Amino acid sequence: MVIRYCALQWTFPVFFYDPEAARAMGMPGTIIPGPLKVGLLYRAVDEWLGGAGWVRQVRAAHRRPDPTNDPIDIAGRVARVYEEDGKRRADLELAIINQEGQPSVRGFAVVEFH
């Protein structure tokens, strides 16, 4: 997934695929690209919607690196449901949780229901 992402963006920072280079930069090893993680948040919200709406916004604040091949969990909760511009929308609080149970990413999304 990481290499496919690098090909999509046509950018190949060494800390995504070279463990020694990543450690030299103070990272635990090769890491999951941040932009890939915002896409994973988008995917989680999109799948949660299940066609009942669409994702207007997704944001990610990266707190900790996630080593490649380490499983991650995505958690979320509906923070607010409201009407805006005649549309029913919801704000979601999101997080990517690493294997230590720590949030590596704090996220936020806005969805609009059909």
Partner 1 sequence: MPEQSLLTDDVRALIGSETPAGAVQVTPRAWRHAVEVYTGRVPTETPANGEPVSGYAIAALETENGGTSRIPDLMPNSLLIANQWEFERPLRMGETLTASSRIVDITERFGGRFGYSIDFRTESVYRDATGAVVARSGITMTQYDVREAERAARRAEDAG
Which residues sit at the interface with partner 1, rule CB under 8 A? Answer: 1, 4-5, 7-11, 24-26, 33-36, 38-40, 42-43, 46, 54-62
Minimum CB distance to partner 1 smaller for 54 or for 113:
54
Q: Tell me if 79 sits within 8 A of 91, measured CB to CB.
A: yes
What is the rounded distance in angstroms from the CA atom of residue 112 to the CA atom of residue 96? 22
**Residue 85 backbone dihedrals phi, psi, to 5 degrees:** 55, 35
Minimum CB distance to partner 1 smaller for 33 or for 67:
33
Pairing of the two strands 103-113 and 73-84: unpaired
Minimum CB distance to partner 1 smaller for 11 or for 99:
11
Question: CB 49 → partner 1: shortest distance, Å?
Answer: 11
Question: CB 52 → partner 1: shortest distance, Å?
Answer: 14
Question: CB 101 → partner 1: shortest distance, Å?
Answer: 20
Minimum CB distance to partner 1 smaller for 8 or for 81:
8
**Residue 62 backbone dihedrals phi, psi, to 5 degrees:** -90, 115
Closest to 57 in 3D by CA, of 89, 87, 34: 89
What is the rounded distance in angstroms from the CA atom of residue 30 to the CA atom of residue 13? 10
Question: CB 3 → partner 1: shortest distance, Å?
Answer: 10
